[in-house]
Structure 1
């Protein structure tokens, strides 16, 4: 099902991914925190989040960077978050074919999930697909716009070739979304410093492995144990 859905979103992501192949910048978390807590800043977090929840398609990539990486500083952030509607959604997600009577229920469940965590890439992906099936292309493009920009934020944070330039993620599942997007099969996974390293079959890809920087996930985990 994931491969079928991702075909729809590739149209929105293709050009953006190419642009990230040669340039990236690691997030400056201190600078981001300063901006999102400044009520006079255009990046003030409550204002940005309000625009996101109201489906503002004028949000820029830089504003999405402050939204995504700025979420680490929000009280609700949980590195191991799971959707409160996960079991119900999995039942639909595992179906090869959906009936038209399922669409509204799925949309309601996903929007409820996104209200709890607005950066749920798996559900944004699925939401765009269901809206497309329903024939609501405007809503499908809005969901794809969010998916597109969150993915681009991750792509723009590194190149994944070493831990120092690993892709920055705030959720374990975001690592697997990226790997599945590129249809990359991994051999093993290991924690290396502040990174998750996924080794690949030698000779099959241009690189031997991919690094994801999970420093903020680890920091969040340490806080939860105090």
Structure 2
């Protein structure tokens, strides 16, 4: 039940987000790296991250774009990141019915996860819903704003129609968040050049599959294997 309700919330917001996007801009990682390392730039990464952690809702789309895509240049970036509280959170999410006593535990664990990786889309989505259940609408809107701002960055990074215009993501998990957003179910996954290609059942949708650009994930993997 919890998963169904959250999915409906995420899907409705997804339609609204998609309607706001009129095109995409392929990320220029060299330009992004230069900006986030320039102390005089409005995109200087430490300042942007400080605003993000302080729940600044005035962060613009371009600032979120530098935050999300610029994270690949941060020492903490790990393309295989998993929440340190994944097992505990999954046990709570898989419950048939949440008790009010579960809310605070989920909030604590989700925020701990986000302190380790601020772009944990799954936790931001759930956190928004749990705050809503608890009656804290201000906190719910902040988590929702972060989630949708990050999703807009991904959606504005490509169109997914071919590898050259694939959506840029930090984690494989983010690929499946996007699929869930538009109620799409993949039937296969394959590596095509520097892209993940998620294929669909033939005739199920208007497209045969979606491409995700994972070039920075692959670079990170090679770096970790050195």
- Fold-level match, TM-score > 0.5? yes
Deviations 1:119-166 (A, max 9, x none): 000000010010010011110010000000001100000000000000
Distance 1:167 1:3 in 2: 25
1:184 matched to which residue of 2? 184
1:120 matched to which residue of 2? 120
Distance 2:18 2:96 in 1: 28
Q: CA deviation at 1:11?
A: 4.9
2:24 matched to which residue of 1? 24
TM-score (normalised: structure 1): 0.96
Deviations 1:34-64 (A, max 9, x none): 0000000000000000000000000011100
Equivalences for residues 37-76 of structure 1 within 5 A: 37-76=37-76
1:161 matched to which residue of 2? 161
Gaps in structure 1 of 5+ consecutive residues: none
1:213 matched to which residue of 2? 213
2:6 matched to which residue of 1? 5
TM-score (normalised: structure 2): 0.96
Q: CA deviation at 1:94?
A: 0.6
1:147 matched to which residue of 2? 147
User: Would the alpha carbon gap of residues 34 and 80 (structure 1) be closer, same or farther in structure 2, given more than 3 Å must change?
Assistant: same
Q: CA deviation at 1:96?
A: 2.6
Q: Is the 8 A contact 1:195 1:214 kept in 2?
A: yes
Gaps in structure 2 of 5+ consecutive residues: none
Distance 1:57 1:225 in 2: 38
